[in-house]
Amino acid sequence: MRRKDREMDRAFAEEIIDSSDFGVLSVNRDDGEVPYSVPLSLVRCGENLYFHSAKEGEKVVLLARNKKARIVFVGDVNVPDIYSKTQLDEIITDKEETKKLISGVFTTEYGSAIVEGTVSKVEDKTEKEMVLKLICEKYTPDKMEYFTYALNAGGSLAQVYKIKIETVTAKRKKFDTEGVEMKWGRKNG
């Protein structure tokens, strides 16, 4: 990670993963061309990420051949509003101070996590049903009374994959209430 001053810990990474609506899975293509990437609805359970898929398609073919994958998650993105108009008008009067425009005005606050791991198809029926339930609890928690009916009607149509988390990194750019960037893993301010 180039910006070590923005690096966050594993707990922060897990917060980003668990709260993200989706992650982008990337796997290598056999021909060495650009990697195959696709946004997915993922759920984390312990040291594993899970997602469901159709049983055919390019993703399925590639995952059968390439077991290594990277998944990128991005948390909330926000444009900071640190300076008032009066402060901005004052900043532009001093050439040295105008650098604040780059780092504190024309920028974004964000949190991100990147996971690398090994992909495998979930073959165990009990694990597959548990994963489908976890995914539904994350994305449709108010409809869970109908989950068993949906599982019985279409659970056999879905393929479930597991990604064993081997490495995870996270970083964040965020400002505190005083407009100071919270670096080096600083969580509050």
The pLDDT mean for the chain works out to 90
Same domain? For 101 and 9 the reply is no
At 11, which helix (H) or strand (E)?
helix 10-19
User: What is the structure's pLDDT at 188?
Assistant: 64
Same domain? For 46 and 134 the reply is yes
Same domain? For 51 and 8 the reply is yes
**Residue 93 domain flag:** yes
SS (H, E, C) 103-145: HHCCCCEEEEEEEEEEEEECCCHHHHHHHHHHHHHHHCHHHHH
**Residue 155 domain flag:** yes
**Residue 116 domain flag:** yes
Same domain? For 16 and 52 the reply is yes
For 102-122, write each residue's pLDDT tens digit: 888 888 889 999 999 999 999
Q: How many domains does one find in the chain?
A: 2
Same domain? For 68 and 23 the reply is yes
Domain around 159: 4-75+110-173
Same domain? For 68 and 87 the reply is no
Average pLDDT over residues 154-168: 93
Cβ pair 60, 53 in contact under 8 A: yes
Q: Which amino acid is at 97?
A: E
CA-to-CA distance for 128 and 44, rounded, in angstroms? 14
Same domain? For 67 and 13 the reply is yes
Same domain? For 118 and 103 the reply is no
Distance of CA 26 to the CA centre of its chain: 12
pLDDT-derived band at 30, boundaries 50, 70, 90: confident
Distance of CA 187 to the CA centre of its chain: 18
Average pLDDT over residues 180-187: 72
| Cβ neighbours for 61, distance < 8 A, ≥ 6 positions apart | none
Same domain? For 50 and 117 the reply is yes
Kind of pairing between the strands at 23-27 and 159-173: unpaired
